[in-house]
Amino acid sequence: MFRFFENLVDPFQPFAAKTPPKTLLPYIWSQVRTLRGWLPIMAITSLIVAVGESLLIFYSGRVIDLMGNSGASVFWDAHGIEMIIAAAIILLLRPLMIFLNHLFLEQTLVGTLHVQAQWRSHRHMLGQSMGFFQNDFAGRLANRVMQMGSATEDSVYMMMEAIWFSLIYIIGATLIISHINPWLALMLSIWLVLYLAYMRALVVRVAHASEKWSDGRSLVTGRVVDAYTNIESVKLFANGEAEEKYVLSAFKRLQLRLHRFLRLATELHLVLNLLNGFLLVGVGGTAVYLWSLDRVTVGDVAAAMALAIRLNGMSGWIMWVSIRLFEHFGVIREGLRSISVPHSVVDEPKAPALNMGVGHIEFDTISHHYGKGKGGLDQVSLTIEPGQKVGLVGRSGAGKSSLVNLLLRYRDVEQGRILIDGQDIAGVTQDSLRKTIGVVTQDSSLLHRSIRANILYGRPDATEAQMIKAAKHAEAHEFIQGLRDPKGRTGYNAYVGERGVQLSGGQRQRIAIARMILKDAPVLVLDEATSALDSEVEAAIQKTLYGVMQGKTVIAIAHRLSTIAQMDRIVVLDAGRVAEDGSHDQLLKYNGIYAGLWHRQSGGFLGDAAAE
């Protein structure tokens, strides 16, 4: 039975991949619309339950009057059947209706919206550009994504289970008490107006304080995760005290925002008790006074008093629910700052996949200044023939990494175009482009998964034998065989830790190279691919890489110029432009920038003044 209600709506159903709405109510509706076929049913069941609760108090007053009018001797003879029917409704029908209402609210609504909001937020975030992630804390982004689930589902749940229920209950109670006596209805109405006026003023302040509080929590999470992620640097530079102060400042800001929020909670207790005092005295006292004038019965007084006492208890609950609701609204608005950001790099509508041919690459007068009007790349034109091996050299900030990032479409060029086999990469899908390019960077981080999963990431459908062959070519198989993680998993099943921290830098690099070898892409980008390896292993890997390069178009960035001296061409970038282009021997004869870098090398590395 539970499973039936849990499966009424699939939270992972396909949805239009577009930027989530930036404002609160449109965003909530974008999530709730998957439930639109069931929302009216949920509203009806809640309505029936609320009306039933109101009638229960009214009926208790009727029972008291029947008892008083009939007397004990004839009560059961006169009203026994009615009492049995009422008992059956209270014992069976009422619990079943409440149970059905909560099956819809918890199993269907909560069970869907919680994971749906998180999944859709995460999926949208995955489509963001590299620049987006470089400009924010990973911890803060993750915190915002995870908070959206609970905040969204709890908001809708509260609106259905609390606000809608309370609204129906209060309307029903007002109608019932109006039937008893208009003066009682007037006292209830005055209380209700005062209550709603205060609640409206309070929730506006709560929403603002909650958004600030949520922002403070995200900042603390971001700084804490940043410290944990870079714990090696914290320890290495003995900066524990400075790191404590950096995070402490965020905690203190969080505490100030928490105090502002809690002040509102304390104020609430005072004002709410004053209002409820008026409710009890106004409705209860008026009912007793009317009874003294013989205008109402004892049962009416009992019903009015019961109603006032019930509302006294409910009012605090409703107020807290409203505060929590607007607290969630603040969390959602804070989360939307990151989640509703449009993708800066997007595929064109119905963009085709890249039709990879021989691997001809052309940078056609491209410029990219990162939106600043200067810096970056400026009017770069470069053609790389199929199967050609090209080394990129230049001082820090010359534009080497920018050129590669644009080729991978981590960013879009601001001017010009990049062509692969005559196809503008801006007009093909990003996934098809990146599937044709194998990349190994200087700092190849790994996923916190098994060695097997990390290598197969390059080609998920590869066989075990193909994976092991790639690991052997990367000089990784031997050390993998001896791995054992803290949970006892060994070899290719051993987990590598977050970003691969369980492995040495050289081991991580060899796993990354094995992943690239297994991918077997027609275009290779090597950004200091062997810099983390010792000389003996590097020599073996270099030999393997030269073998892998055969028949492929290669772009290699290296500070150790000896590693690219054997390339077909070496392109020297300077201040975002192509300054020199030729073979190693040609550039030495030219006696320009490359020759100067070569002569300034110490042990095969660029000198400090030229290092990137």
Highest mean pLDDT among 97-106, 211-220, 526-535, 552-561: 97-106
Domain annotation covers residue 568: no
pLDDT of residue 465: 94
Asked whether residue 316 falls in the same domain as residue 455, the answer is no
309 with 167, same domain: the answer is yes
> Once rounded to an integer, what is the mean pLDDT over residues 427-439?
91
- 171 pLDDT band (50/70/90 cuts)? confident
Q: What is the pLDDT of residue 534?
A: 66
Place of tokens 């009012």: 315
pLDDT of residue 533: 62
User: Residue 464 has what pLDDT?
Assistant: 93
* SS3 state at 140: helix
**For position 532, what pLDDT does the model report?**
56
Whether residue 60 is contained in a domain is answered as yes
End position of a domain, from candidates 308, 339, 370: 339
Mean pLDDT of the residues in the chain: 85
Q: Is the pLDDT of residue 503 over 90?
A: no
Domain boundary among 339, 366, 399: 339
pLDDT at 26: 92
Q: What is the pLDDT of residues 435-487, one digit of tens each?
A: 999 888 877 778 889 999 999 998 999 999 999 999 998 888 999 999 998 88
What is the identity of the amino acid at 244?
E
Distance of alpha carbon 363 from alpha carbon 416, whole angstroms: 8
Which structural domain, as residue segments, surrounds residue 457?
A: 445-520
Is the confidence at residue 612, as pLDDT, over 70? no
Are residues 75 and 196 both part of a single domain? yes
8 Å CB contact between 455 and 467: yes
Is 584 part of a structural domain of the chain? no
Q: What is the mean pLDDT of residues 565-585?
A: 90
> Among 206-220, 402-416, 435-449, whose mean pLDDT is lowest?
206-220
pLDDT of res. 606: 47
What is the rounded distance in angstroms from the CA atom of residue 225 to the CA atom of residue 229? Answer: 6
The residues, any chain, with a CB within 8 Å of residue 122's CB and separated by 6 or more, are: 145
The domain spanning residue 492 has which CATH number?
A: 3.40.50.300
- Given 520, 544, 568, the domain boundary residue is 520
Question: Quick check: is 197 in a domain?
Answer: yes
Cβ neighbours of residue 434 closer than 8 Å, sequence gap 6 or more: 408, 409
- Looking at the structure, tell me whether residues 456 and 335 fall in a common domain: no
Q: Which of 110-114, 236-240, 490-494, 568-572 has the lowest mean pLDDT?
A: 236-240
Lookup: tokens for 218 = 């995200």
Question: Residue 222's pLDDT is what?
Answer: 82
Per-residue confidence (pLDDT) for residue 140, from 0 to 100: 80
254-306 pLDDT, tens digit per residue, is 888 888 878 877 887 788 888 888 888 888 888 888 888 888 888 888 888 88
User: For position 309, which CATH number holds?
Assistant: 1.20.1560.10
Cα angle vertex 418, ends 415, 423, to 5°?
130
Helix (H) or strand (E) holding 115, with range, is helix 111-126
Average pLDDT, integer, range 596-604: 69
pLDDT in tens, 325-369: 877 888 888 889 889 998 888 889 889 999 988 899 999 999 998
Asked if residue 610 has pLDDT above 50, the reply is no
Is 604 part of a structural domain of the chain?
no
Please give the residue that has the higher pLDDT: either 375 or 588: 588
Do 101 and 250 reside in the same domain of the chain?
Answer: yes
More reliable by pLDDT, 201 or 21? 21
Three-state SS sequence of 402-439: HHHHHHCCCCCCCEEEEEECCEEHHHCCHHHHHHCEEE
Give phi and psi for 595, each to the nearest 5: -60, -40
Q: Give phi and psi for 380, each to the nearest 5.
A: -90, 125
Rounded average pLDDT over 514-526: 90
Q: What is the pLDDT of residues 311-335, one digit of tens each?
A: 887 777 777 787 788 778 888 888 8
The tens digit of pLDDT for each residue in 26-58 reads 999 999 999 888 989 999 998 898 888 888 877
* pLDDT value at 219 more than 90: no
CA dist., res. 163 & res. 156, Å (int): 10
- Is the backbone of residue 421 left (phi > 0), alpha (psi -120 to 50) or beta? left
Rounded to 5 degrees, what are φ and ψ at 585? Answer: -65, -40
* Percentage, residues of the chain above pLDDT 70: 96
For the whole prediction, is pTM greater than 0.85? no
- Asked whether residue 210 is domain-assigned, the answer is yes
The CA distance from 261 to 263, in Å, is 5
Number of domains present in the structure of the chain: 2
Q: How many CB atoms lie within 10 A of CB 594?
A: 25
Angle 447-411-215 from CA coordinates, rounded to 5°: 65
Give the side-chain half-sphere CA count within 13 A for 349. Answer: 2
Kindly indicate the confidence band of residue 531, based on its pLDDT and cuts at 50, 70 and 90: low
Mean pLDDT score, 164-170: 84
Phi, psi (deg, nearest 5) at residue 491: 55, -135
In a domain, 226, yes or no: yes
Structural domain includes residue 159:
yes
